[in-house]
Structure 1
Amino acid sequence: MTQITLNIPDNELTFFMKLIEKFNYETVVDEIAVTEDMKILLDERRSTSKTDDFIPWNDAKKQLRFKSEK
């Protein structure tokens, strides 16, 4: 079996879903359990964060380093 992951823009999702209705596909949803402690921590971080400290995701991805890279 071949598994394909696609990133579909929100405004194209309806069109895409109508297109693939003719094929045999399976929707997989990975759910992440978030504890109450995690929610509290995230709320605290949101309340103390400053917009000036944000980094655009494309810039942040470039800063990521993995253990296998040196």
Structure 2
Amino acid sequence: MTQITLNIPDSELSFFMKLIEKFNYETVNNEFSATEEMKNMLDERRSTSKTDDFIPWNEAKTQLRFKSEK
């Protein structure tokens, strides 16, 4: 598999996202790191969550909405 990293100007992001939706792609963000507080909160949520409440990723990603650029 080939990976490509692109720097897209903010003014062109909306156009690019519409174009890229036509392809099979995976978004990767390597700039995120979780604090210990975040990790603890996630661990707590995992321990109290119920499998019945889970939504498959393919369904969940269709529910995501991005703020429109102004």
Instruction: Provide TM-score, normalisation by structure 1.
Output: 0.52
Name the CA distance, whole Å, in 1 between partners of 2:44 and 2:30. 26
Name the CA distance, whole Å, in 2 between partners of 1:65 and 1:49. 24
Aligned to 1:37: 37
Could you give the per-residue CA deviations for residues 8-45 of structure 1, whole angstroms, max 9, x where no partner exists? xxxxxxxxxxxxxxxxxxxxx92532211111101110
Instruction: Provide TM-score, normalisation by structure 2.
Output: 0.52
- State the Cα RMSD in Å: 2.8
For the pair shown, which has the larger CA radius of gyration, 1 or 2? 1
Cα 1:43–1:62 change in 2 (3 A) is same
- Structure scoring higher RCO (CA < 8 A, sep ≥ 6) equals 2
Unmatched tracts of structure 1, length 5 or more: 8-28
4+ residue segments displaced more than 4 Å: none
